[in-house]
Amino acid sequence: MNPNALIDLSEASDRTPIHALTAPLLMLLLACAPTSPPELLLEPDPQRAGLDGSFGPNGVGFSTFRAARATGQSFDVDLHFPATEDAEMVDGAHPMVVVIQGGAVAHERYLWMGEHLASRGYIALTPAYPLDLAIFGGNRTHEAIDRARHLAENNDPILGGAIDEQPVGLMGHSLGGAVAIKQWLRHEDDLGPLVIVASYPAGGDTVQEKQRPVLSIAGDLDNSAVPEEVRAGAQRFGNATLAWVQGMNHYDWCDAVTQKERDKENSPHERPADESRSDAWRVIDAYLDAEMMGSDQDWSAQDYAGVTLE
């Protein structure tokens, strides 16, 4: 869907009337609730170099936890992390990235992104937003981060001591990208690198005042996030690089694409999604590694197969 087609409700809560004691009680209960038992999704393999948009050498562990809302409600957060063969967190403190789902697209359809990030050494959070619309719970992004950091600081079996102190990266698709931009503007001290996928800022977003490097990436066959608007949105940032992935459309970023979505996109599709995704990850990986992993590569000056940078 058009990432800015809906009214800006990104700070709205999924409000439900609650008793005044509900919120404090929930906070107390969650304070004692750890992450769920981990599952190993991918075995570690030191032969995987993480080049050309592929998985990195780490194994990938998967878990979930609950985060609290100021309303007294709670919500699920899916967690991918760099794992050993025993599904334990790889030693050390790791940078963290939050993935925000697109509009009316289930967050589970973006878990492949978290798996990729974890294989390369990142802790990835994918929160569940109400009605699969991040605009109705934009603050969940920060609430998920706060909960993860609380677990890390309180000896959680998985996250204990595992999150580094640098600002968290944000990656959002379509409407999720628009919400990510708003969170990035409002929580400048806590949020760092920003990857907006097939998306662009809303009219009132003061992105031109920010000089931090931003990556805007979209497919050149995208018929939902109109290329002219994506380009114009990227140009509003003080320091954004725009990347066009050849032969990629709007729903290639999602798993389990439906026939209805294919019909809605109505674009020629001659490339398998895994090929265009690999091309996209080459750029995303280089950007995040430079911003969060200390890579000294000038990522925006490189040539990437299957991708055109502006």
pLDDT of residue 73: 82
Report in angstroms the alpha-carbon separations of 126 from 71, 169, 184.
Answer: 20, 12, 16
pLDDT of residue 11: 46
Which position has the higher pLDDT, 68 or 110? 110
The yes-or-no verdict on residue 117 having pLDDT over 70 is yes
Joined together, the tokens standing for residue 284 give 């995303």
pLDDT band at residue 268 under the 50/70/90 scheme: low
Rounded to an integer, the average pLDDT of 194-215 is 95
Tell me which DSSP letter residue 166 carries: S
- Report the half-sphere exposure of 105 (CA within 13 A, side-chain side): 29
Domains in the chain, ordered, with CATH? Answer: 40-309 (3.40.50.1820)
Work out the burial of residue 36: count CB atoms within 10 Å of its CB; fewer than 13 is exposed, 13-18 middle, 19 or more buried: middle
The yes-or-no verdict on residue 21 having pLDDT over 60 is no
pLDDT band at residue 18 under the 50/70/90 scheme: very low
The yes-or-no verdict on residue 30 having pLDDT over 80 is no
pLDDT cut 70: percent of the chain above it = 88
3-state secondary structure 236-290: HCCCEEEEEECCCCHHHHCCCCCHHHHHHHCCCCCCCHHHHHHHHHHHHHHHHHH
pLDDT of residue 216: 98
Model confidence pLDDT, tens digit, residues 165-203: 999 999 999 999 999 999 999 998 999 999 999 999 999
pLDDT of residue 292: 98
pLDDT of residue 27: 54
Least confident of 6-15, 127-136, 176-185, 227-236: 6-15
What pTM value is reported for the model?
0.91
The yes-or-no verdict on residue 14 having pLDDT over 50 is no
